[in-house]
Chains A and B, each alone.
Chain A
């Protein structure tokens, strides 16, 4: 890339909360547009161009139409970055992946369900196209987004942790959720959030997805040993890991 790289933001099935995090960078948005030229960002500008180098994509893929759009973006961009859980791991949308699809459609759209064609499973964007980098989280962490952008502009690989949230909980000297008689999926979830939820006294729900090589079998056993039923364990894992767990089975 010579000169200032051109960046574009896109959204598939998602709440646009990750783009909102970027819009909320406030004064840092000015630093951002100093190092990249933003050519498309529906949430904050009306201009649009299909001439871009880096595509930031939020949301998961849930139907043919979105898949086609995604493929077009891949053709246009030299670097594709997934933005937020829905894009990187299927996210909340993939809760439905383990449920009866007709029932899910009716629950959401009622009698009009047939007007909304959708796949029975929500997919992470890497299920459809090649993805170069991921900015995980629900929502994304603004500092991590900045780190990814500056790394890409400098031509470096960004440092995205591949260790579990337990690491950050220890660095922050948190009381472990398990010691508070609560149960979390932090031991198998990718860190990088600075254990923000546990810092506030709650638990890790797993929004950044599984680490590359989680000991999830052990974690299911341990959760059951701590008194959770198999069904409750499944619920813990299905909130964010629905797509990832199936993708790992297929490997």
Chain B
């Protein structure tokens, strides 16, 4: 346990004295983002959802992979900033757990994994629920592992659960005290209470998604109707905590004797995503790309890694201008029409 006052002092010390960069959830206009903390008072642990998930710290939006010089050859680049990340919601921690798997499964992606290893993940249980969030239906409104520390707001203090050695060490500098029986039951109550707060709900258990999607792949009318207003803008992909596709490009300096190879987030909703050599596009039509995302989240990743790749954060729905991306609407409608 730590009083809120002591917690702020603890964060302030981290910001000023720790050699690592301290990032946390802060206001941006009337939204929230993960960004470098300049002062402990800027931290907003009562946020609802951030624009981008914390994935950006392990897989940056644009990242240099290789630098090359015509005369000296090339060298691999991995810019690692050790970080303490404060205020990750349980659904985003679940997404990070899945990304850790994706980036280490068959090929160990050092650019992701080294950044991930250099980070301390401090979670926080959800205090305010975004109107688009349906983590309650996805079993991700709370999480019992895959964090270094987990905070729960119980009035004038935070309960701190320790999830790892890294988390334990971070607390060296904090004025913490033992939790009482009452504190423990307050945390338990909080975690149970949050499940009831979500307005958006899935009408089926997520385990049923793979089979539902398998059955509805061929329901072209359904996918065409729902994607009619799709811009193919990729916003739903780009804000998703479990989307990990990227494009690789080379950029030369105007001197032509050096340059770099970068990777940048990509998205399967974008028209050119599935174009291969010879200009063949495997998903030329809007509805095919639209369907593909739901298939990935609810079925393909499940077949490959055993996870339902939607964690219920609701970011895709909230960022879709024509409002056609909310997974609860689509999956619930699909259930309705697939009997």
Contacts and interface: CB of A to CB of B under 8 A. Distances in A.
B251 A147 contact: yes
Contact of A163 (B62, B253, B270, B321): B270
A219 interface: yes
A221 interface: yes
Interface string B271-300: 110000000000000100000000000000
B231 A171 contact: no
B255 A178 contact: no
Q: Which of A34, A35, A151, A211 has the most CB of B within 10 A?
A: A211
B104 interface: no
Contacts of B231: 164, 166, 187-188, 214-215, 218-219
A164 B322 contact: no
A146 interface: yes
Interface residues of B, number: 37
B238 A167 contact: yes
B211 interface: no
Contacts of B232: 163-164, 213, 215
B252 A154 contact: yes
A175 interface: yes
Nearest to A162: B272
For A32, A35, A187, A212, which residue has the most chain B Cβ atoms within 10 angstroms? Answer: A187
Contacts of A53: none
A118 to B, nearest CB: 35
B24 interface: no
Interface stretch (B26-34, B71-79, B154-162, B302-310): B26-34
B229 to A, nearest CB: 4
Contacts of B251: 147
A77 to B, nearest CB: 21
A143 to B, nearest CB: 9
Contacts of B254: 28, 31-32, 35, 146, 149-150
B282 to A, nearest CB: 16
B321 A167 contact: no
A153 B256 contact: yes
B284 to A, nearest CB: 10
Interface in A196-233: 211-215, 218-219, 221-222
A32 B253 CA distance: 10
B322 A175 contact: no
A218 B229 contact: yes
A201 to B, nearest CB: 9
Contact of B321 (A187, A211, A213): A187
A35 B256 contact: yes
B265 interface: yes
Contacts of A147: 251
A186 B267 CA distance: 17
A171 B252 contact: no
Contact of B228 (A35, A167, A218): A218
A8 interface: no
B265 A171 contact: yes
Interface in A128-151: 146-147, 149-151
10 contacts: A31-B253, A159-B249, A162-B272, A163-B271, A163-B272, A166-B321, A167-B234, A175-B31, A215-B231, A222-B322
Interface of B: 28-31, 33, 51-52, 56, 61-62, 228-235, 238-239, 249, 251-256, 264-265, 267, 270-272, 286, 319, 321-322
Interface of A: 28, 31-32, 34-35, 146-147, 149-151, 153-154, 159, 162-164, 166-167, 170-176, 178-180, 187-188, 211-215, 218-219, 221-222
